[in-house]
Structure 1
Amino acid sequence: MCHLLMLQKLVIPQPCFQTVRTEGGVIMGKGFYISKVAALGGVVVAVAALSTIIALSVVYSQERSKNNGSDGGATAGPSAGPTAGPPTPPPSNEPWDKYRLPAHLVPDHYNVTLWPRLTPDPATGLYIFTGESTVEFECVEDTDLILIHSNKLNYTTLENGHLARLTSAGGAAPSITQSWLQTVTQYLVLRLNGKLLKGQRYHLYTKFTGELADDLGGFYRSEYFEGTVKKVIATTQMQPTDARKSFPCFDEPAMKAYFFITLMHDADKVALSNGAAIGTTAVTVEGVTVQQTVFERTEKMSTYLLAFIVCDYGFVNSTTDGVLIRIFARKPAIAAGQGDYALNITGPILKFFEKYYNSSYPLPKSDQIAIPDFNAGAMENWGLITYRETALLYDPAFSSNSNKERIATIIAHELAHMWFGNLVTLRWWNDLWLNEGFASYVEYLGANDAEPSWNVKDLMVLNDVHRVFAVDALASSHPLPLKRDIQNQRSSLSELFDAITYSKGASVLRMLSDFLTEDVFTRGLQSYLKEFAFGSTVYTDLWKHLQTAVEETGTDIPTTIDNIMNTWVLQMGFPVVTIDTATGGISQKHFLLDPDSATPPPSPYNYEWIVPIRWMKTGVVQNPRWLQEKSETANEMKTTGDEWVLANLNVVGYYRVNYDTANWNKLLNALSVDHSIIPVINRAQLVDDSFNLARAKIIPTVQALDTTKYLDKERDYMPWKSAINNLDFFYLMFDRTEVYGPMQTYLNNKVAPLFQYYKDMTGNWVNIPDGHLDQYNQVNAISMACKTGLPECTALVTGWFSDWMTSNINSINPNLRSTVYCNAIAAGGAAEWNFAWTQFESATIAIEADKLRYALSCTREPWLLNRYLEYTLDPEKIRKQDATSTIVYIAENVVGQSLAWDFIRAHWSYIFNEYGGGSFSFSNLINGVTKRFSTEFELQQLRQFKEDNADVGFGSGTLAVDQAIEKTQANIKWVGENKKNVLNWFETALPS
């Protein structure tokens, strides 16, 4: 175990002047830089301030918390004044020991001035920011206590001897008698000598210092190089609970307010925030001239959507119907045109959503900015959306068509939030699923409108429906809304940001839109947005508006929206619908990947769903029907002769489908004789359903393998991708066993015709396929051909890579680079790896760096993989935002899996604390490193890992640990029951 310790430092505070707007105008204030320290105990330091005036300042201690991997605040308990001490768990049931704010106070507006220093303090080496804030709030219930969120902020003691100053907007205000920081629950606590009165408004003023750390949360710093010059950005990521790291605030989504933001910065920097800049003036502070940029007041909004950035960036811009659209990025990236694609599609996507929502874009500008260090993919800050560079910047010389698609869908996702999430906000985080699920659904609609030739809407089945089925089929899954009393801690709330929230949310909303029709769905959506604009809601408010739309249009559904959707929202999991074409019997059952796993928790609907069924008979689409009971009879689904039934047409329903054996055989025969009679999405469905039904012991595993027999005739992307995704499980279970050889030979035989097809189509790999999905399937052809050992494929990729190494000119098509780099490095040795590492270090294009970073994990040399793992601990080599995904890449390599597992066990405490307990990536890390586990020994190691690190915690990976244990148990049983039959099947299926 390794702990990162920070030595305590005594620092002479540096005085500085700042300005802050209040109701009365502008106040000049003097703030002290009080350094962050990480040791127990408090130290009071006497300092020289101005001339002969001596001021006393408290240097607050901050301890790295084992629970959340973050530094605490100043003190942990009430006192006569500010004192110092280590954070402690809540000892009682006092209001400041609860994680939710009391309902006594409601903010109206904030005036916040922040000054980030983009050079380190010479005494400490720390980057800091100073700030002042005034919040005006209304008292809605008499109280003698003020609780306001604060985390990692050091406060200047004011003239009243306390950490804040309270005044009344219209009369006398009570005096503050006690002030302290409650570290665990992250409050600034103020006790008063009298009561705040209902209906009265008050002002709370504070002056503070924080560290502009590189922890990717709150107000933080990101770094990059232009040539040999290091550049520093001050930027933000507030969701879910990090606005309180930037200034004291009522940091809950329903606590909407207006914000007046002012940023201080050097003259050569640009300042951005949610509102438009209304003026920049030079001011002199302590003999230093800086710029002060004032922003127009925001709309009424939640704290988690705030953003403020100081950077040395360029931009491109355009105007759409009076809305200023700007794309900001590093100046070389802008000069190279990498912001042009995002600029070109933002206007059309905004116009699409204005029509979809029947609501004008609610702001005068739409800024989007690429940040080199960014933990999420993007963040929907209102009017100033932040992105990873790979999610916003496009360069046709380096970016693949999948990179381009990702940019389009992510921009559409974030712009969808400008209305759904920002204009109308869910009241509490337990309803996050509706916010993120909705954006994850309509991102496909927005991107499809911008790029109609891509047919991108179909890909939701692979990217979301099939993806989340794998998680939601576990007994350790959870319903869409989490329990109401979830703690307001980043480490707890971050568990919400999972596949259930995003992909299941998207899938059930897509199903809802389908059975209502899009016209009825958008009608209800539009009235919902109109009623709750600038306010907060719960998810059932949307159901009410959709129900009204149903009644107004006379739409035929079997019961109310509430009754239907509760079965999908309030219980976890999904059904498998079984159709018996001999009897017409149709039934449903909770689908569990491992039926022998732990019993799932009780369900309010006894794991029964109201299921909409679209279906066809022998290629002819039939009238849709509903399954409302455990079992029913559908005479129209009976078949005779060669007739067959196919249900869940285009996979618009969130469920799997099973059939009687005769119908399965007819479907397999249809695939073999003329697979085009079955819609392409349903060909992907038949493969995915059958493999997962087999894992759940509902059908034999060899029957699932039979769905791959026709693949040598298949040329479409979606069925091939579905097959590859499912066969990946067979690789995970068998690539260390005797099954591996025959499996490789069989799959090589299936993919060889696809490889030849694309070789011919592209004129011996010279041209690029015209179709978007054809370009994807070309990658499948090369990837699988090389993976299964086709000599021509290996020679092809190693030749391309060798030419690059020799000539230092990279002529490999951007679409193919990831798979070419990976397979060439796998076939090579240290020379290829070192060359790729050098290219990675010198890459100035984030998308190209990402391709190389992935490919470096493909080497078969254990010593190189171990070295690469060590690099993930060094942010100078691998950025913090990329560390966990790099470890997962290594674990996907059969040679690297055990190395990665040993590595995270040895370094878990460091990884967890360094990357923060709130990091959204820990669930991916746990899942990625353990997904090959299939032995009792690995199960015991996993259980021991959970026990050994219980005191450290797992953050967003907490649920993932339990799910990994459940999946490992299922894998052990599955391998034991299927290994022999699978081996026999591959041996007999080989061509004679």
Structure 2
Amino acid sequence: MENWGLITIRQRDGLYKDGLFPIIQKHNLQEIIAHEVSHQWFGNLVTMKWWSDLWLNEGFATLISLKGVDFLENTTWRYDDRAELQCFALRSDQINGMIPVSGGEYSNPGRYTEVTSHLNHIIYKKSSIIIRMIERIIEEDTFKKGLRRFLNSFLYKNADHEDLFNVLVYVHDSSAGGHLSGQNFSLSDVMDTWIRQPHFPLVHVNRKEGSIVTLRQEKYEHVPYLAKVNDQVWKIPIFYDDPVSAKHKVFWLTDKQPHVFDMAGQYVVDPHQLTYMRIRYDIEMYSDITMALLHDYRVIPTNSRSRLIDDTFSMAEHDQMSYKVAFNVTMYMSKETEYRPLQTFSAYMDYFLPRMYGLEFWSEYQEYLSLIIGKLFDQFNAQGLDADMDIQHDLFSARDIVVLRACIIDYEPCIQMATERFQEVRRNCSGKFQLLSGSDCNKIPYYLRPWVYSAAIKHGTEDDFDFLFEKWNMEHYMMERDSIFNGLCSTRFREKSDLAWKRLMKNRARENILLRCVACSKTMFNDTLLLDMFEEQPEYMKELVETAANDLSAVMILIYRNMQFEKDVKRMDNVLKPYKDLIRFLAKYRSQALGRIVWRQDVAPYFAGNASEAIQIIKIYTHLTENPNYRDPIHFSIVIFPSEFI
């Protein structure tokens, strides 16, 4: 918390020691401290006039903190990368009824103080992306001058978005440069369309000839059959690199009409993902993009690779395009080495794994994931999972995701690795007072521990659980406790599951139950053990309702997330029947569970069919490219991608 003169941080977030914590903890701690320090200017020195402009505090603190940490590490990695921020922001912003970044005079200020992840993604993440976009439009030097003038003008005062707009417009209009020269609209007009209206545009890209395309905007509707007539229009800057000067330039989309644009040989529009939007290409362009990724994925910039994954899977969710498109643009990923595309791909695994696991079609999706994630795991494993990558932030994070996902999909080499390492820990750390948090007996790298514990307990014995449970009870480092519980909640044994969760709830004063449930949700699929416990022990359920309602709600959400059959929803209805307030709170999660069940019945067969087709294409392409005489990617494209590509 950014109290002036007394910044406070949770213990779990505020500790780091070389050799005792994974390097990712250091990076997280740096960003948290930088964010809170940034608030000493944005939030404390100048404070928003009312809660509907909370983004003036949080958006700027988010952005400036990334700049600050990059400066400390002599890099631009965080600030130049928008893929992760955009992925989270877009997923929240596409929900019907979402708030704009800045509320109007008659907006409900209470919406801006609700503590929900979706609203936080708008106030923190979307606003920082829009601010970054404005900086690109008016250029960095002008932007810095504007911020200095804003802070000095409202020193120890309150300000709203109008005050910021007025200062930035004044400084911009007084300076040379920027990307608004010759336009019939002002910087304020641009900012209005992004800050004061909710949601975001979808830009359609259709090829005319060669690199000449048409661009057309409309409001993105995630669920088209619920869409209403909408007249929202954005002033959209399409950033591109001038092939002559090599400088950033902007092509403006300001209405709903199609406009002709020269992509100058690029495969994608807005290649560095500088604009907040989704993009949809035509059939021919998706085919070219897919072939380019397979042939040499590096011809498409990292952020755009992440955007392709995010946009295609998102639009396929409600039949705006076939899942075949999304599978095709991810077939190259066994070669991917960058964190952001892998992180986006991993986020969608969180969506699909609970929907596919346990179905008769699971094996098709599992094989597809094994061809991608499994191959990447084999590469990292061959290099050595203990290899020091602390100074290679991107590669370290990529390895972390790959190991997690390889073990979750039961990729045999990952399970074998986890089992062997866990048994080594059991042998070396068997002493009564030996803690797993130290490195004296526990040689597993810190980043690897949650996934090793989870896989080993899931595929292990009751004795394995008992060993880890004993170590959890004596452990005092919160990060190690969290890693250990990742393993405990993966058990297949009902008695052991009851033991772990009851002890967790008993220790709730020192445990973050919500974070534990979120972490366990990544590894618990087709698991009714928690539901069985509450169904068979109504007195325990009543006790938690009376003494720990908030923490119990987090556990109930976890149970709903794991539901795969309608009979389990009905069982949950009976468990909750005496508790009307809890029923009301959990209504949307019940609805989501029913939606997943319908998806499993109606969509899963087609989804698995697309996965099977992708498997065959990957195998054919691998066979062809391993042939030393293979020289004709065009022929492969014609054979593999006929006219019914979408």
> TM-score surpassing 0.5?
yes
Residue equivalent to 2:481: 849
Structure-2 residue corresponding to 1:723: 345
Identify the residue that residue 788 of structure 1 maps to in structure 2. 409
Residues 1:596 and 2:228 aligned together: no
* Structure 2 equivalent of residue 446 of structure 1: 68
Partner of 2:330: 708
1:607 aligns with 2:229: no
Deviation at 1:864, TM superposition (A): 2.8
**Higher relative contact order, chain-length normalized (CA < 8 Å, sep 6+):** 2
How many Å apart are 1:411 and its aligned residue? Answer: 0.7
Deviation at 1:577, TM superposition (A): 0.9
- Alignment partners' CA distance in 1, 2:488 and 2:242: 49
**For residues 625-704 of structure 1, what are the structure 2 equivalents within 5 Å?**
625-637=251-263, 645-704=267-326
Paired residue type of 1:791: E
2:531·2:572 contact (CA, 8 Å) conserved in 1? no
Task: Supply the distance in 1 between the matched residues of 2:549 and 2:109 (Cα, whole angstroms).
Answer: 16
Q: What SS class does the counterpart of residue 258 from structure 2 fall into?
A: strand
Structure 1 residues 914 and 567 mapped into 2: Cα distance closer, same or farther (>3 Å)? farther
Structure (1 or 2) with the greater helix fraction: 2
Name the counterpart of 1:879: 509
**CA deviations over 1:523-547 (Å, ceiling 9, x no partner):** 2111111111112122221111111
User: % of aligned pairs identical?
Assistant: 22
Residues 910, 410 of structure 1: CA spacing in aligned structure 2 closer, same or farther, 3 A cutoff?
farther
Superposed CA deviations along residues 940-959 of structure 1, whole A, max 9, x for unmatched, are 899999998665698xxx7x
Secondary structure class of the residue paired with 1:650: coil
Which of the two has higher C-alpha Rg? Answer: 1
Aligned to 1:777: 398
Separation of aligned partners in 2, 1:879 and 1:421:
31
Contact in 1 for aligned 2:271/2:300 (Cα 8 Å): no
Q: Which residue of 2 aligns with 1:153?
A: none
Kindly provide the CA deviation profile for residues 159-192 of structure 1, in whole angstroms up to 9, marking residues without a partner as x. Answer: xxxxxxxxxxxxxxxxxxxxxxxxxxxxxxxxxx
Q: Are 2:149 and 1:527 equivalent residues in the alignment?
A: yes
Q: Match of 2:237, SS?
A: strand
Question: What is the aligned counterpart of 1:569 among 170, 174, 195?
Answer: 195
Does the residue aligned with 2:54 lie in a helix, a strand or coil?
Answer: helix
Residue 937 of structure 1 and its aligned partner are, at CA, apart by 6.7
Contact 2:267 2:300 in 1 (8 A): no
Post-superposition offset of 1:967: 5.2
Q: CA deviation at 1:657?
A: 0.7
SS at match of 1:419: coil
Contact 1:610 1:627 in 2 (8 A): yes
**C-alpha distance in 1 between matches for 2:561 and 2:512:** 20
* 2:99 maps to which of 469, 474, 478: 478
Structure-1-length-normalised TM-score? 0.55
For 1:539, give the aligned amino acid: H
Which one has a larger percent strand, Structure 1 or Structure 2? 1
Distance 2:557 2:21 in 1: 28
What is the root-mean-square deviation of aligned Cα atoms in Å? 3.7
What is the deviation of 1:687?
1.3
Residue 590 of structure 1: how far off its partner (Å): 2.0
Task: Say which SS state the counterpart of residue 124 (structure 2) adopts.
Answer: helix
Give the whole-Å Cα distance in 1 for the aligned partners of 2:542 and 2:48: 34
Structure 2: runs of 5 or more not aligned: 430-440, 620-646
Matched residue, 1:986: 611
- Displacement of 1:493 after TM fit? 4.4
CA–CA separation in structure 2 for the residues paired with 1:733 and 1:726: 11
Where does structure 1 lack aligned partners over 5 or more consecutive residues?
Answer: 1-378
Per mean C-alpha deviation after superposition, the further-off stretch among 622-631 and 859-868 is 859-868
**Residues 872 and 886 in structure 1, CA contact (< 8 A), matched pair in contact too:** no
- Equivalent of 1:759, from 378, 381, 392? 381
- CA deviation vs aligned residue, 1:309-354 (integer Å, no higher than 9, x gap): xxxxxxxxxxxxxxxxxxxxxxxxxxxxxxxxxxxxxxxxxxxxxx
Seen in structure 2, the aligned counterparts of structure 1 residues 672 and 879 have a Cα distance that, compared at 3 Å, is same
CA change 1:511–1:979 in 2 (3 A) is same
Per-residue CA deviations over 1:804-860 (Å, capped at 9, x if unaligned) read: 111111011122222222222222233223322332332232222222233332223
In 1, the alpha carbon distance for the partners of 2:545 and 2:37 equals: 32
How far is 1:499 from its partner?
2.3
How many pairs are equivalent? Answer: 594
CA contact (8 A) 2:526 2:563 kept: no
Q: For the structure 1 residues 800 and 664, does the alpha-carbon distance in structure 2 shift closer, same or farther, using more than 3 Å as the test?
A: same
Q: Which amino acid aligns with 1:850?
A: D
Within-5 A mapping of 1:801-840: 801-808=422-429, 809-840=441-472
Q: Partners in 2 of 1:864 and 1:502 — Cα distance?
A: 40
Alpha carbons 1:391, 1:406 under 8 Å: kept:
yes
| Aligned twin of 1:586 | 215
- Return closer, same or farther for 1:535/1:915 CA change in 2, 3 Å cut-off: farther
Deviation string 1:507-563 (CA, Å, 9 cap, x unpaired) is 222222222222222221111111111121222211111111211114342423332
| Letter of the 1:500 counterpart | I
Which residue type is aligned with residue 612 of structure 2?
Answer: E
By how many angstroms is 1:966 displaced?
A: 7.0
Which residue of the other structure, out of 828, 853, 860, is the alignment partner of 2:492? Answer: 860
Mapped partners of 2:511, 2:89: distance in 1: 24
Q: How far apart are 1:938 and its partner, in Å? A: 7.4
The 1:983–1:574 alpha-carbon spacing in structure 2 relative to 1, beyond 3 Å, is: same
In the TM superposition, 1:224-243 aligns within 5 A as none
Cα gap change, 1:792 to 1:567, in 2 (>3 Å): same
Secondary structure at the aligned position of 1:699 is classed as coil
* C-alpha distance in structure 1 between counterparts of 2:249 and 2:372, whole Å: 37
- Code of the residue aligned with 1:794 in structure 2: it is I
Quickly say closer, same or farther: Cα 1:895–1:636, change in 2 above 3 A: closer
Deviations 1:915-969 (A, max 9, x none): 688x9x97x8787654566776778899999998665698xxx7x965x577557
- Amino acid in the other structure paired with 1:979: A
1:737 matched to 2:359? The reply is yes
* The 10-residue stretch of structure 1 (416-425 or 972-981) with the greater mean CA deviation from structure 2: 972-981
Amino acid at match of 2:250: P
* CA distance in 1: counterparts of 2:496 and 2:311, whole angstroms: 39
Q: From the superposition, tell whether residues 408 and 535 of structure 1 become closer, same or farther in structure 2 (CA, over 3 Å).
A: same
Q: Which amino acid aligns with 1:885?
A: L
Q: C-alpha distance in 2, partners of 1:904/1:527?
A: 59
Measure the CA separation in 1 of the matches of 2:604 and 2:274. Answer: 34
The Cα offsets for residues 649-706 of structure 1, whole Å up to 9 and x where unpaired, read as: 2222111111111111111111011111111121111111111121142221111111
The offset of 1:891, in angstroms, is 3.8
TM-fit CA distance, 1:387? 0.6
> Contact (CA 8 Å) 1:735, 1:894: kept in 2 or not?
no
1:339-372 CA distance string (max 9 Å, x none): xxxxxxxxxxxxxxxxxxxxxxxxxxxxxxxxxx
> Aligned letter for 2:40?
M
Shift of 1:882: 0.3
Q: Provide, for residues 874-918 of structure 1, a one-character-per-residue CA deviation record: whole Å limited to 9, x for no partner.
A: 2xx23355012223334444447645568899789976875688x
Relative distance call for 1:714 and 1:556 in structure 2 (3 A) is: closer
Alignment of 1:404-423 (within 5 A): 404-423=26-45
Q: Does the 8 Å contact 1:617/1:646 carry over to 2?
A: no
**Contact 1:580-1:660 within 8 A present in 2 as well:** yes
Q: In the aligned structure 2, how far is the partner of 1:975 from the partner of 1:458?
A: 38
- Equivalence for 2:77: 455
